[in-house]
Amino acid sequence: MSPSAVCEASPDSQGLVNGHNGNGSLMAIKPSNGTISLAESLAGLQTEQKNSKTTNIDSMSSLELCRVINEEDASVAQAVQTCLPQIANAIDIIVPRLLKGGRVIYTGAGTSGRLGVLDASEIPPTFSAPPGQFVGLIAGGDYAIRNAVEGAEDSEELGATDLAELTPPLNKNDTLMVDLKMSNEKLQNRARRVARMVVPPSSALDIENEEVLDTVLADCDGQVKLSILVATLGCSPAEGRAKLEAASGSLRQALQGNLAN
């Protein structure tokens, strides 16, 4: 099975992109009803089936062997072609999450895991992606990249532990509604609370002062995320919008980018 990719969005959503089983259909990594056993799942994999073309592989000449393997390799493109709608859907799921600062985490065991690690490693230098945005996770850990770790793929507990180590605990910035619209009095009050919870005491503007906070919110057209950035950095709303645009709308990245500069 090909490596799967968990697409982790920041802060409030995530998706799971599943690998295909070689015949064009998608394999669910974790079925929603939880009723498919490991044995049943493995039995459905094409890699577990008999291949009539290689029944006599032990009696083939080297050239015959190469031809059979080459013919089988050609079937890969056909299998991928049948999956193009699912692949396009995966792209549409992943891209918005990446633009919000999310990550793609490749998961797999054995050769599939190694391919995921290789792909994740190639993306940053090839496409200038931020380090850590694409992560390869292989059953058995980094040791398994070069060595066989038998049985690691069977442990759900180890898989859960490895994923948990990649997922930082939620903090206040992850769970606050910085994109809310101040459409009524309740949301206006919530916007003030959110801004005060996020903006640090060392910020450029003292938004504990009610008039200062109201002025910032008004200047930013009620946009809480922009108001937080303006109050923290002391920049103009126009400058704040430019910073958010450069960070693809991510408040965290806009703030971190300013600190890095």
Q: Which residues of the chain have pLDDT under 70?
A: 1-42, 166-176, 258-261
Asked if 19 and 2 touch (Cβ cutoff 8 Å), the reply is yes
CATH of 172-260, one of 1.10.8.1080, 3.30.9.30, 1.10.357.10, 2.40.40.20: 1.10.8.1080
Class of domain 4-50+83-166: alpha beta
Instruction: For residue range 150-182, list pLDDT tens digits in order.
Output: 777 777 777 777 777 766 544 444 456 777 778
Instruction: For residue range 175-224, list pLDDT tens digits in order.
Output: 567 777 787 787 888 888 889 888 888 888 999 899 999 999 999 999 99
CB proximity list for 230: less than 8 A, separation 6 or greater: 205, 216, 219, 220, 236, 237, 240
Look up residue 4 and give its two tokens. Answer: 């799967």
What integer pLDDT is reported at residue 214 of this predicted model?
92
What integer pLDDT is reported at residue 77 of this predicted model?
93
CA distances from 81 to 146, 148, 155, 233 (A): 31, 32, 32, 49
What integer pLDDT is reported at residue 74 of this predicted model?
93
**Residue boundaries of the structural domains of the chain:** 4-50+83-166, 172-260
What integer pLDDT is reported at residue 12 of this predicted model?
38
Peptide bond into 11 cis (omega under 30): yes
